């Protein structure tokens, strides 16, 4: 007799089969009906934006588990991988078994026997055990063994894990019972069930049949309960991954006047003002708390809780969002995207927060220094309200070419509001201009023709001031035929690179560290050699939002490989770095950097003592023991300077590079 196993063992006649199929289709039908009802609520949102190709997203996020792997230091990542891959293995095993069982209905032989059967049993028996182990691990964790403080949970979570665990465990007990009641020489190929079978001893067929129905009852309960439990992310996260917006992480969606006229409102007031994709993503949230764990505002004791924002919006269900959210929490966000980066189901918290802010700003609910900033930037085109004449003061004695002088240039050196007038940031601007001159790079500045990119206005929620400034700058770019831009401000860099395309500006935009690193790699500049050790504070809008963490390190002579998208900082055919400063990484670095607290317009907000993200970050940087803190953003420098002055040296990577080079 060929190795195989009998389906519906000890259950002769049509009745057991009839009951099995009726209950299976009924529970599956109920599950599908609930998901369809959920999808109807998603359809109440605004139409979606252009999407990314679906299959790489699904492959990377769902099958590759990119966001889960290593994302949490306390065991959550490996535990999730055991459950996920174990579950997928069991799903595949069930599908293969069903195909083989029903093959005779289309004239094919049932192939679930012989060598195939033995390989099937050995493979899926082991993989399924991973699922049971993962569920047991998760259950212990939920019940308090090694549970992270931010992991919330209610009885539904425990119930979900009990259902999953029991489905898996009873599956193995059933296998052991089958081996005990109907032994065969090939049962050794089902190692887990074979190992368990002696525990059950001699088993009556009726006991096996009872266990069979008990196991199936848990499986049917799983189907029925799935849409009601956070476990629904198995399905919903796949839908969100397949429909992910093409918009870059750092780009906010543009609001048109036509939209405002059609809806009579600016920004999001209730859930129906969000896109369908955003509404779907809310249902994918599994309340894991990763976003809250990494939130810099939450980390300094503010009540902002990105998970709470997602759950609050979800709970609003067509009612005003502010019934579930607080204005203080919405204003506290620095738009650092740490939550977005950490979220395993790719929820875009910043889109949601800024969309509600837009409405608050339109309703005149913003007061204080951030409101002053909006008025200043709207009236002067400078975020600190400086007159345009101040934009050329830093150039004195440097012989910096201006676009209006009419000479051809390769790069527009975009200076930014801080870069033109803040004393610390001006040092960076001067260093960049000098280094470009020494390296023979053709560039020019706009001087008085430059206005704020509008980044602080947009992220504070003043969409139309941003659009006005972006339109004005885009016209100037077109006037001078600008095709390449370099800037020392990651906020300007992000906006020009990812958002100005909506205003007709198609340009290659580089952060100064990228262009300077290219010059170092080409041997046109020497890398910095900083004595006494140096640590780097990665700006959120460079390292995380735009995936560039290698270029600033290259300026310090450090070879690193943090960038996920190597196209941003091309290494091929370039010189190896000749000198290495002693670079000491702080606890949070590269894409997982810790925000200084300046983004999202928070630069202009007042934080209570003890609630300043910059102080927390400064402590971390000082803990490295490095004598120099290198920065790569004028906003970071302004925020960190007060906390670091007198304790260590703060300098932009361009200034450190300048010190290592000489005028040719
Ligand atoms: S939003 Fe994302 S990271 Fe935050 S709790 Fe939900 S699934 Fe987890
Ligand atoms: S963007 Fe940053 S500050 Fe805002 S909620 Fe997310 S983690 Fe917190």
Give the number of whichever ligand sits closest to the CA of residue 313. 1
pLDDT at 73: 47
In a domain, 9, yes or no: no
Please write the tens of the pLDDT for every residue from 79-119: 888 999 999 999 999 999 999 999 999 999 999 999 999 99
Q: Do 316 and 357 fall into the same domain? A: yes
Residue nearest to atom 3 of ligand 2 (CA): 333
In a domain, 6, yes or no: no
Residues of the chain under the 70 pLDDT cut? 62-75, 145-154, 566-580
Shortest CA distance to 595 belongs to which of 340, 248, 281? 340
- Cβ within 8 Å of residue 565, ≥6 positions away: 547
State in Å: Cα 251 to ligand 2 middle: 15
Pairing of strands 534-536, 411-414: unpaired
State in Å: Cα 88 to ligand 1 middle: 22
Q: Do 252 and 358 fall into the same domain? A: yes
Return the residue matching tokens 């080409």.
Answer: 522
Q: Tell which one of 352, 459, 588, 595 to mutate to probe ligand 2, the residue whose CB is within 8 A of the most ligand atoms.
A: 595
**C-alpha to C-alpha distance for 370 and 386, rounded to whole angstroms:** 16
Q: Tell which one of 308, 337, 459, 592 to mutate to probe ligand 2, the residue whose CB is within 8 A of the most ligand atoms.
A: 337
pLDDT at 564: 81
In a domain, 601, yes or no: yes
Q: How many helices (H) and strands (E) does the chain have?
A: 27, 7
State in Å: Cα 152 to ligand 1 middle: 11
State in Å: Cα 305 to ligand 2 middle: 8
Q: Do 193 and 304 fall into the same domain? A: no
Q: Do 512 and 644 fall into the same domain? A: yes
Give the number of whichever ligand sits closest to the CA of residue 290. 1
Total structural domains in the chain? 3
Cα–chain-centroid distance for residue 298? Answer: 17
Q: Do 583 and 632 fall into the same domain? A: yes
The DSSP 8-state label assigned to residue 394 in this structure reads: G
pLDDT at 375: 97
Residue nearest to atom 4 of ligand 2 (CA): 333
Residue nearest to atom 8 of ligand 1 (CA): 288
Residue nearest to atom 5 of ligand 1 (CA): 287
**C-alpha to C-alpha distance for 314 and 306, rounded to whole angstroms:** 12
User: What CA–CA distances, in Å, run from 271 to 367, 378, 625?
Assistant: 25, 30, 48
**C-alpha to C-alpha distance for 295 and 164, rounded to whole angstroms:** 31
Q: Tell which one of 291, 292, 305, 353 to mutate to probe ligand 1, the residue whose CB is within 8 A of the most ligand atoms.
A: 291
Q: Do 188 and 269 fall into the same domain? A: no
pLDDT at 77: 78
Is the minimum distance from the CB of 231 to ligand 1 under 6 angstroms?
Answer: no
Q: Do 204 and 279 fall into the same domain? A: no
CA of 342, closest atom in ligand 2: 7
Q: What CATH number should be reported for the domain holding residue 116?
A: 1.20.950
State in Å: Cα 278 to ligand 2 middle: 17
State in Å: Cα 376 to ligand 1 middle: 36
State in Å: Cα 345 to ligand 1 middle: 7
Q: Tell which one of 250, 293, 338 to mutate to probe ligand 2, the residue whose CB is within 8 A of the most ligand atoms.
A: 338
**C-alpha to C-alpha distance for 46 and 65, rounded to whole angstroms:** 29
Cβ atoms of 293 and 304 closer than 8 Å: no
- φ/ψ region of 151 (left if φ > 0, alpha if ψ in -120 to 50, else beta) reads beta
In a domain, 7, yes or no: no
State in Å: Cα 268 to ligand 2 middle: 18
In a domain, 8, yes or no: no
State in Å: Cα 284 to ligand 1 middle: 8
Cβ atoms of 440 and 663 closer than 8 Å: no
Cα–chain-centroid distance for residue 404? Answer: 41
The DSSP 8-state label assigned to residue 652 in this structure reads: E
- The structure tokens listed for 413 are 């050196």
Return the residue matching tokens 């198995």.
Answer: 234
- Cβ within 8 Å of residue 202, ≥6 positions away: 180
Residue where a domain terminates, one of 173, 206, 241: 241
**CB-based burial, 446-483: b 16+ in 10 Å, e otherwise:** bbbbbbbbbbbbbbbbbbbbbbbbbebbbebbeebebe
Which domain does 187 fall in, by range?
A: 14-241
Backbone phi, psi, residue 509, to 5°? -115, 125
Residue nearest to atom 2 of ligand 2 (CA): 336
In a domain, 168, yes or no: yes
In a domain, 581, yes or no: yes
Q: Do 551 and 430 fall into the same domain? A: yes
State in Å: Cα 157 to ligand 1 middle: 15
Q: Is 359 exposed, middle or buried (0-12, 13-18, 19+ CB in 10 A)?
A: buried
Q: Do 226 and 286 fall into the same domain? A: no
The DSSP 8-state label assigned to residue 651 in this structure reads: E
Q: Report H helices in 264-326.
A: 276-284, 290-294, 296-299, 306-316
User: What CA–CA distances, in Å, run from 141 to 75, 132, 145, 229?
Assistant: 9, 14, 5, 18
Q: What CATH number should be reported for the domain holding residue 275?
A: 1.10.1060.10
State in Å: Cα 338 to ligand 1 middle: 11
Backbone phi, psi, residue 203, to 5°? -120, 130
User: What CA–CA distances, in Å, run from 424 to 49, 455, 558, 603?
Assistant: 40, 20, 25, 15
pLDDT at 150: 63
**C-alpha to C-alpha distance for 275 and 86, rounded to whole angstroms:** 34
**Which H or E run includes 98?**
helix 76-102
Residues flanking ligand 2, CB < 6 Å: 294-297, 304, 306, 333-339, 349-350, 595
- Cβ within 8 Å of residue 379, ≥6 positions away: 385
In a domain, 1, yes or no: no
Angle (CA) 308-312-314 rounded to 5° is 120
Max Cα distance, the chain (Å) = 98
Residue nearest to atom 2 of ligand 1 (CA): 343
Residue nearest to atom 8 of ligand 2 (CA): 295
Q: Do 378 and 358 fall into the same domain? A: no
Is the minimum distance from the CB of 285 to ligand 1 under 6 angstroms?
Answer: yes
Q: Do 471 and 535 fall into the same domain? A: yes
CA of 298, closest atom in ligand 2: 8
Is the minimum distance from the CB of 441 to ligand 1 under 6 angstroms?
Answer: no
Residue where a domain terminates, one of 317, 338, 362: 362
If one counts every other C-beta atom within 10 angstroms of the C-beta of residue 167, the result is 22
**Which H or E run includes 443?**
strand 443-444
The DSSP 8-state label assigned to residue 576 in this structure reads: P
pTM of the complete model: 0.91
Residue where a domain terminates, one of 225, 241, 257: 241
Cβ atoms of 443 and 407 closer than 8 Å: no
Q: Is 152 exposed, middle or buried (0-12, 13-18, 19+ CB in 10 A)?
A: middle
Q: Do 317 and 456 fall into the same domain? A: no
């Amino acid at each position: 007799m060929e190795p195989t196993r009998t389906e519906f063992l000890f259950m002769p006649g049509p009745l057991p089969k009839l009951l099995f199929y009726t209950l299976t289709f009924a529970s599956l039908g109920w599950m599908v009906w609930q998901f369809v009802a959920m999808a109807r609520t998603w359809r109440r949102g605004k139409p979606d934006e252009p999407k990314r190709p679906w299959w790489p997203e699904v492959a990377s996020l769902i099958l590759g588990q990119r966001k889960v792997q290593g994302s949490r230091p306390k065991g959550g990542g490996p535990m999730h991988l055991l459950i996920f891959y174990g579950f997928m293995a069991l799903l595949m095993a069930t599908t293969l078994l069903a195909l083989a069982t029903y093959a005779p209905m289309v004239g094919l032989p049932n192939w679930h026997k012989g060598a195939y059967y033995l390989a099937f049993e050995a493979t899926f028996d082991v993989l399924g055990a991973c699922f049971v182990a993962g569920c047991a691990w998760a259950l212990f964790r939920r019940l308090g063994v090694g549970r992270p403080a931010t992991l919330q949970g209610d009885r539904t979570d425990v119930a979900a894990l009990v259902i999953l665990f029991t489905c898996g465990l009873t599956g193995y007990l059933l296998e052991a019972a089958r081996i005990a009641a109907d032994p065969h020489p090939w049962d050794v190929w089902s190692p887990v069930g074979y190992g368990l079978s002696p525990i059950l001893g001699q088993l009556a067929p009726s006991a096996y049949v009872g266990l069979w129905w008990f196991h199936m009852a848990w499986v049917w309960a799983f189907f029925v309960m799935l849409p009601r439990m956070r476990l629904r992310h198995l399905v919903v996260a796949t839908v969100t991954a397949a429909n992910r917006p093409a918009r870059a992480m750092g780009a906010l969606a543009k609001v048109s006047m036509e939209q405002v006229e059609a809806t009579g409102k600016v920004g999001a007031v209730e859930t129906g003002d969000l896109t369908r994709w955003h509404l779907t993503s809310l249902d994918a949230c599994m309340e894991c708390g990763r976003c809250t764990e990494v939130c810099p505002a939450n980390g300094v004791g503010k009540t902002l809780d990105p998970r709470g924002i997602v759950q609050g919006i979800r709970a609003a269900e067509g009612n005003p969002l502010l019934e579930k959210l607080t204005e203080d929490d919405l204003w506290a966000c620095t738009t650092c995207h740490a939550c977005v980066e950490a979220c395993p189901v790719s929820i875009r918290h910043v889109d949601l927060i800024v969309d509600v802010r837009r409405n608050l700003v339109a309703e005149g609910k913003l007061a204080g220094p951030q409101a002053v900033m909006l008025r200043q930037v709207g009236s002067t085109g400078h975020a600190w309200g400086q007159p345009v004449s101040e934009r050329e003061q830093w150039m004195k004695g440097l012989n910096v070419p201006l676009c209006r002088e009419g000479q051809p240039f390769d790069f527009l050196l975009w200076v930014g509001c801080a870069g033109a007038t803040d004393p610390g940031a001006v040092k960076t601007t001067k260093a960049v201009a000098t280094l470009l001159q020494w390296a023979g790079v053709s560039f020019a500045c706009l001087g008085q023709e430059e206005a704020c990119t509008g980044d602080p206005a947009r992220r504070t929620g003043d969409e139309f001031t941003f659009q006005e400034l972006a339109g004005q700058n885009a016209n100037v770019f077109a006037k001078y035929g600008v095709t390449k831009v370099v800037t020392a401000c990651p906020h300007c860099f992000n906006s020009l690179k990812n958002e100005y395309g909506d205003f007709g500006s198609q340009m290659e935009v580089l952060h100064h560290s990228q262009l300077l690193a290219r010059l170092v790699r080409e041997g046109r500049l020497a890398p910095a050699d900083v004595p006494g050790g140096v640590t780097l504070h990665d700006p959120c809008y460079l390292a995380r939002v735009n995936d560039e963490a290698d270029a600033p390190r290259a300026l310090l002579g450090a070879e690193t490989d943090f960038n996920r998208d190597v196209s941003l900082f091309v290494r091929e055919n370039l010189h190896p770095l000749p000198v290495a400063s002693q670079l000491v990484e702080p606890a949070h670095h590269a894409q997982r950097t810790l925000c200084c607290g300046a983004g999202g317009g928070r630069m202009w907000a007042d934080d209570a003592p003890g609630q300043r993200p910059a102080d927390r970050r400064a402590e971390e940087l000082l803990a490295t023991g490095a004598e120099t803190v290198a920065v790569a953003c004028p906003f970071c420098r302004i925020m960190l300077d007060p906390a670091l002055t007198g304790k260590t040296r703060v300098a932009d990577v361009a200034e450190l590079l300048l010190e290592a080079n000489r005028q040719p």
